[in-house]
C-alpha cells in the first residue's frame, strides 16, 4: 500500500511540475574575423570565393524558420579590415552608410564586438560604424582615459521568452603594441581577466541573467605580450572566473569547439569559428523553466560550414550597388609591372616583392635602412597592368610608415630576433633551412612562427649564417653605399607602424628597447597608410621593373641552396 502511495505521489509531483514548466529553445550564431568578406567574391584576386556574409545569411534565414526571434546573431570583431569592400567604405566613400553597418542591420545582428583590426581603421571609421549600427557594439575593457569609464557599452541584456541573456564584450588588450596611438587616442585597454572580475558580479547582482556569454575578441591559448598584455586569455577567464555559460572567441583564426570546467566545476562552452565567414559558431540552448526560474539548462555547440551553401540571392540583390561600387574601385589601373613578383623567394633570400617595399620605404622616408616582411604567406602579382586590387595583395594591412632612430647594435639585435624565429640552426646539409612544423591535418608543412614577423633589411649588406645558434647568425658588413656599419652609431630606419609599436617583439626582445620607450624613437609617421603611398608611387612611375636588391644572403650557400629547394617544395607543393 505504501509503495502504491509513493508512486501516486511521484506521479502527482511529475504532473504538477509539467503543468508549471515550459521549454525554451534558443539558437546563437557567432561570426568572427569576417575581414570584409561580405560577398562570395575575392576583390583582391577577382575570383569567386568561399565563406562570406552572403552565405551566412542563407544559413541564418534557414534557421530562423525554426527559431524565429529566438535566433540571436552575434559578431566578434575584426570586420572593418581585409577585403577592399571594407577599405572602400572606410576611406573612399565616407558619406554613404558604412557597408558593414548596413549589412549587419539587414541581417539582424543583436550585438557586435570590437576587434583590434577595427581599431586599426581609426576613430573616424569605427566611431561612424558604431553609430550607424542598430545594435550595441561592446567593449568592456576599452576605457576612456578622460574619466576611466568604458568607451563602449560593456554588456548587453537580451530577453527572449522570459529568458535573460547577458553578453559581456571584450577585446584583446595588446593593441598599443601594434597600432599607433593616433588610431586609439583617448583610450586604453584594460586586462581582460581583471575586467571580467569587475563586471560578472555586477551583471549577476543587477541583471540576474539566466545565461551569461563572453563575447571575446581573443583566442584560447594565453600568452604575455611585451611583458604586460595578456593576449588570447579566453580559456583562462573561462577557467578562473565562474559565471560564464559560453565564451565566444575570435582573433586567432583558429577553429575550436569544446567544453572546459571552471573553478567551481561547472561546464563552459568555448567556441571559435575562425575567419572569413567560412564557418559559424552554432550554439543550441534548451532551458526548462518552472514559473520564472530556470531549473535545467542544456548547451550544445558545433562549428557549421558555410562554404557549401549558396549565397543568399536576396542579400546579393539588396547590396548590388555596393558590390558594383567596390568592383569599379578595385578595377582602376595604377601602373604596369614588367616582371611577375611573388613572396615565395622572400623566405630564402632577397626577392623583388619585398625589395620593392624596401625601396619604396627608403624613397619615401630618406632613411638609411628599411625593415619589411612578407605580410601574406603566398602572394603573387603578375606582370602587366597593376590595378587597385593588386595593391591589397602587395600590402595586406593598413599600416602607417614610421621612421625611427636605432643604433647599429639595436639593428643587429632586431635582425637576430627576426632570423631566430625564421631560420633553423642547420647541423648538416640535409636539415631544414627554415623553422617548419607539420600541419595538423597532415597536408604538408607550415612555418613554426608567423611569417609576417620575418623582417629582412635593405640599406645594409649582411649575411645570415644558419649554422649558428639564435642570436649569433647576423654579420653586417657595411651600409649598402659601401660606408662602414657602426654598432654605436644611430641610424634612421623605415618600418611599418605595426613593427614600430612593438608588433612581433623584434624591437623589444630583439633590439632590447623597452615597450614604453618605443614612441620616443619615432621621428616621423605618415598620415595615411602605406598602401596609399604605394598607389601614388606606382601611378607616378607608371611602369616599373621590380628586381631583388641582393643585399643579404644565407650562408653557407653549399647547404642553403639545396635546403631552400627542399623546403620550398614542402611549403608550396
pLDDT of res. 238: 97
- Determine how many CB atoms are found less than 10 A away from the CB of residue 425: 16
Inter-residue contact 355 to 548 (CB < 8 Å): yes
- Claim to verify: residue 343 and residue 322 sit in the same structural domain: no
- Claim to verify: residue 200 and residue 265 sit in the same structural domain: yes
Residue 433 lies in a domain: yes
* Among candidate residues 529, 417, 535, 453, the one with its CA nearest the CA of residue 179: 529
pLDDT of res. 18: 55
- Claim to verify: residue 251 and residue 377 sit in the same structural domain: no
Rounded CA separation 257/283 (Å): 10
Inter-residue contact 57 to 312 (CB < 8 Å): yes
Rounded CA separation 449/8 (Å): 67
3-state helix, strand, coil in the chain (%, to 5): 35, 30, 35
Domain count, the chain: 2
DSSP string, 393-417: HH--S---EEEEEEEHHHHHHHHHH
Rounded CA separation 43/37 (Å): 9
Q: How far is Cα of residue 241 from the mean position of the Cα atoms in its chain?
A: 25
Residue 5 lies in a domain: no
Q: What is the CATH number of the domain that holds 421?
A: 3.90.780.10
Bridge-based pairing state of the strands 223-225 and 229-231: antiparallel
- Claim to verify: residue 347 and residue 309 sit in the same structural domain: no
Residue 293 lies in a domain: yes
Point out the domain boundary residue: 268, 301, 326. 326
Q: How far is Cα of residue 107 from the mean position of the Cα atoms in its chain?
A: 23
Point out the domain boundary residue: 300, 326, 352. 326
* Among candidate residues 132, 153, 133, 150, the one with its CA nearest the CA of residue 141: 150
Point out the domain boundary residue: 326, 344, 370. 326
Residue 482 contacts by C-beta under 8 Å, 6 or more apart in sequence?
none
pLDDT of res. 271: 98
Inter-residue contact 128 to 98 (CB < 8 Å): yes
Mean pLDDT by 10 residues, the chain (573 residues): 49 53 96 98 94 98 98 98 97 96 98 97 97 98 97 98 97 95 96 98 97 98 91 96 97 96 94 98 96 93 97 98 98 96 97 96 97 94 96 93 98 98 97 94 88 98 98 98 98 97 96 95 94 94 96 98 96 90
Residue 16 lies in a domain: no
- Determine how many CB atoms are found less than 10 A away from the CB of residue 97: 15
DSSP string, 354-382: HHHHHHHHHHHH--SEEEE--SSTT-EE-
The boundaries of the domain holding residue 317 are 21-326
- Claim to verify: residue 151 and residue 271 sit in the same structural domain: yes
Rounded CA separation 349/434 (Å): 12
Edge to edge, the sheet with strand 474-479 lists: 474-479, 460-465, 552-555
Is the peptide bond preceding residue 511 cis, with omega within 30 degrees of 0?
Answer: no
- Claim to verify: residue 309 and residue 445 sit in the same structural domain: no
Residue 11 lies in a domain: no
Q: How far is CA 280 from CA 33, 128, 133, 233, 305, in A?
A: 11, 26, 21, 21, 7
- Claim to verify: residue 435 and residue 534 sit in the same structural domain: yes
pLDDT of res. 372: 98
Residue 10 lies in a domain: no
Q: What is the CATH number of the domain that holds 187?
A: 3.60.21.10
pLDDT of res. 1: 42
Q: Which residues pair with 280 in a beta bridge?
A: 304
pLDDT of res. 12: 47
- Claim to verify: residue 321 and residue 353 sit in the same structural domain: no
- Claim to verify: residue 84 and residue 220 sit in the same structural domain: yes
- Claim to verify: residue 145 and residue 26 sit in the same structural domain: yes
The length of the chain is 573
Residue 103 lies in a domain: yes
Treating both helix axes as pointing N-terminal to C-terminal, what angle do 123-132 and 99-107 enclose, rounded to 10 degrees?
30
- Claim to verify: residue 521 and residue 452 sit in the same structural domain: yes
Q: Which residues pair with 369 in a beta bridge?
A: 493
Edge to edge, the sheet with strand 490-496 lists: 456-458, 369-372, 490-496, 401-407, 522-525
Edge to edge, the sheet with strand 267-272 lists: 155-160, 163-171, 211-217, 246-248, 267-272, 256-261
Which burial class, exposed, middle or buried, applies to 305 when counting CB atoms under 10 A from its CB (0-12, 13-18, 19+)? middle
pLDDT of res. 141: 98
pLDDT of res. 573: 84
Bridge-based pairing state of the strands 333-337 and 543-544: parallel
Q: How far is CA 410 from CA 86, 239, 285, 320, 403, in A?
A: 37, 40, 54, 51, 15
pLDDT of res. 15: 46
pLDDT of res. 19: 57
Secondary structure letter of residue 98 according to DSSP: P
Rounded CA separation 385/336 (Å): 4
- Claim to verify: residue 343 and residue 220 sit in the same structural domain: no
- Determine how many CB atoms are found less than 10 A away from the CB of residue 377: 16
Residue 3 lies in a domain: no
Amino acid at each position: 500500500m505504501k509503495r502504491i502511495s509513493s508512486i501516486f505521489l511521484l506521479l502527482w509531483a511529475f504532473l504538477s511540475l509539467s503543468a508549471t514548466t515550459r521549454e525554451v529553445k534558443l539558437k546563437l550564431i557567432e561570426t568572427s574575423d569576417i575581414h570584409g568578406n561580405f560577398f562570395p567574391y575575392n576583390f583582391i584576386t577577382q575570383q569567386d570565393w568561399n565563406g562570406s556574409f552572403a552565405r551566412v545569411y542563407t544559413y541564418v534565414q534557414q534557421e530562423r524558420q525554426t527559431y524565429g526571434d529566438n535566433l540571436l546573431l552575434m559578431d566578434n570583431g575584426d570586420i572593418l579590415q581585409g577585403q577592399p569592400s571594407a577599405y572602400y567604405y572606410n576611406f573612399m566613400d565616407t558619406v554613404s552608410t558604412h557597408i558593414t553597418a548596413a549589412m549587419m542591420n539587414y541581417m539582424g545582428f543583436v550585438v557586435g564586438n570590437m576587434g583590434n583590426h577595427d581599431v586599426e581603421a581609426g576613430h573616424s571609421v569605427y566611431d561612424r560604424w558604431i553609430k550607424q549600427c542598430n545594435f550595441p557594439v561592446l567593449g568592456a575593457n576599452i576605457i576612456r582615459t578622460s574619466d576611466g569609464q568604458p568607451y563602449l557599452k560593456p554588456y548587453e541584456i537580451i530577453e527572449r521568452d522570459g529568458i535573460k541573456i547577458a553578453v559581456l564584450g571584450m577585446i584583446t588588450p595588446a593593441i598599443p603594441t601594434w597600432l599607433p596611438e593616433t588610431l586609439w587616442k583617448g583610450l586604453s585597454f584594460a586586462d581582460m581577466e581583471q575586467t571580467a572580475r569587475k563586471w560578472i558580479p555586477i551583471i549577476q547582482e543587477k541583471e540576474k541573467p539566466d545565461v551569461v556569454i563572453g563575447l571575446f575578441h581573443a583566442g584560447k591559448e594565453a600568452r604575455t605580450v611585451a611583458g604586460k598584455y595578456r593576449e588570447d586569455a579566453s580559456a583562462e577567464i573561462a577557467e578562473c572566473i565562474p559565471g560564464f555559460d559560453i565564451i565566444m572567441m575570435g582573433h586567432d583564426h583558429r577553429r575550436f569547439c569544446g567544453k572546459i570546467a571552471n573553478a567551481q566545476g561547472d561546464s563552459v562552452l568555448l567556441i571559435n569559428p575562425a575567419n572569413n565567414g567560412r564557418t559559424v559558431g552554432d550554439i543550441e540552448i534548451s532551458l526548462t523553466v518552472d514559473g520564472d526560474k530556470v531549473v535545467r539548462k542544456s548547451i550544445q555547440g558545433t562549428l557549421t560550414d558555410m562554404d557549401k551553401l549558396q549565397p543568399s540571392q536576396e542579400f546579393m540583390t539588396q547590396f548590388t550597388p555596393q558590390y558594383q561600387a567596390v568592383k569599379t574601385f578595385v578595377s582602376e589601373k595604377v601602373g604596369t609591372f614588367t616582371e611577375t613578383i611573388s613572396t615565395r623567394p622572400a623566405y630564402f633570400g632577397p626577392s623583388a616583392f619585398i625589395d620593392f617595399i624596401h625601396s619604396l620605404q627608403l624613397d619615401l622616408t630618406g632613411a638609411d635602412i628599411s625593415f619589411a616582411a612578407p605580410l601574406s604567406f603566398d602572394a603573387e602579382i603578375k606582370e602587366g597592368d597593376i590595378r587597385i586590387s593588386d595593391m591589397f595583395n602587395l600590402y595586406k594591412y593598413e599600416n602607417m610608415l614610421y621612421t625611427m632612430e636605432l643604433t647599429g647594435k639595436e639593428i643587429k639585435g632586431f635582425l637576430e630576433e627576426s632570423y631566430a624565429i625564421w631560420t633553423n640552426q642547420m647541423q648538416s646539409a640535409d636539415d631544414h633551412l627554415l623553422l617548419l612544423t607539420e600541419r595538423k591535418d597532415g597536408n604538408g608543412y607550415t612555418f613554426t612562427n608567423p611569417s609576417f614577423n620575418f623582417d629582412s633589411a635593405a640599406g645594409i649588406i649582411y649575411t645570415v649564417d644558419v649554422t649558428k645558434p639564435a642570436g649569433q647568425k647576423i654579420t653586417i658588413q657595411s651600409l649598402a653605399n659601401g660606408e662602414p656599419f657602426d654598432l654605436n652609431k644611430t641610424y634612421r630606419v623605415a618600418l611599418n607602424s605595426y613593427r614600430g609599436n612593438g608588433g612581433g617583439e623584434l624591437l623589444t626582445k630583439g633590439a632590447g628597447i623597452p615597450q614604453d620607450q618605443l614612441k620616443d624613437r619615432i621621428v616621423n609617421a605618415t598620415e595615411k597608410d602605406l598602401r596609399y603611398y604605394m598607389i601614388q608611387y606606382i601611378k607616378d612611375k607608371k611602369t616599373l621593373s621590380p628586381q631583388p636588391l641582393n643585399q643579404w644572403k644565407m650562408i653557407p650557400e653549399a647547404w642553403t641552396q639545396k635546403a631552400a629547394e627542399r623546403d620550398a617544395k614542402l611549403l608550396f607543393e
